[in-house]
Structure 1
Amino acid sequence: MSTPRDLLITVIDMSPSHSVERGNLSLALAGAELIDLLAAEAIRLDDDLIVPTHPPQMSDRLLDQAASSLVGRPPYETLDDWLWRRGRGLSTAYVEALEADGQLIRKRHPRWMPARADRTTLADSAARRDAAERWASDEPVLAALVAAAGIHDRPAGEFPGAADDPVTTVLAALDDALKDLEFQRQRRAIDQAAFDNVWRGE
């Protein structure tokens, strides 16, 4: 299994008692992809630039897709640009991939219960057990990514690695992107509140 899939399975397992923002999860998944591409030596970092090194042998379709979308010549893509570009709608893509693999089951409610939304549950699979074991081991990388998704209370940037470690660099960029996302949400909320006040004549 890949780090993004382990992340998503962990989040789904924990989400009944935690709310998850789709944007946070998508950015975290994009960061997880970079971490796996680094581990496969498919990329290296030049400061905050993502430099492809050689065509990777990835066993995951979405990771293959991520690798093939890398900017292969200068000027290379920055970590921030990658997270926003690749992260757009990524949580939906990974959920659909889990469903296609039979690891995520959508339980549909009868037609006579239109007010009830369909519910997804994880199948009892080796992938789920592996993700649970990885989470139980308190692996720092997965813990930081789950934090980024908004479930764990440790900020994504608090990864106990060396300052020049590429994984730490990715997690720090992810933390910055999440702060920017939250700022955008707050600004939209303020703009909407101002519009509502004008509409009401206040």
Structure 2
Amino acid sequence: MEKVIKQLEPDVVIWSLMNGEKENVLIDIGLTNVLAAIQKDTKLIYISTDALFVDGIGDYIEADQKGSLPKDAPLSTYVNAKRRAESIIKRRHVNHVILRTSPLYGEDFNQNIEQRTQRILIQIKEKQYTEATQNLYKTFVHVHDLAKAILEISVKEYTGILHLGPMQNESYYTFYKKRLKQLGYDNSVIQPHFIKEGEIP
């Protein structure tokens, strides 16, 4: 990593890696090595997550308190590693922008759609229907909008934390209804599901 950084001498480094089950390894080894290799005036843009807010209240601002998840909770490795990464970056590299974003959707470089929607399509194929939560809300972010924001931020003087997403949130149910219609599928096969208070979706 140090050799590559020295060869490229980048003005900006964008960290967009994730690996849910091994996120802690990415942070403890990968991010630590990147921070050791880059110059102090190199801008680091780190893609983080709104999943850091574990209390479920919503409408968070950048200064709100982050939480952590117990080890046996789903996504605990991912969420807790992202939380630790933010703290490491703030402590070790002044010239940074931490972008917290909600679930992403859209096509990748090879025109493959996001795994979240792929799972829904598989469920529909297997059972002829699927369920999506109607009382859990997110601000879903199109990957192209995220890319444009990253490019814009890369040339700005700003440092600190930014929340990135649309102004309006929506439920997983309404999101998947729209998403399937966009992709040319019959969206009537999606049924609303309601989670109870305290239930983990």
Work out whether the TM-score is over 0.5.
no
Greater share of strand residues, 1 or 2?
2
For CA contacts below 8 A with separation 6 or more, give which structure has more relative contact order: 1
Greater share of helix residues, 1 or 2?
1
TM-score, scaled relative to structure 1:
0.26
TM-score, scaled relative to structure 2:
0.26
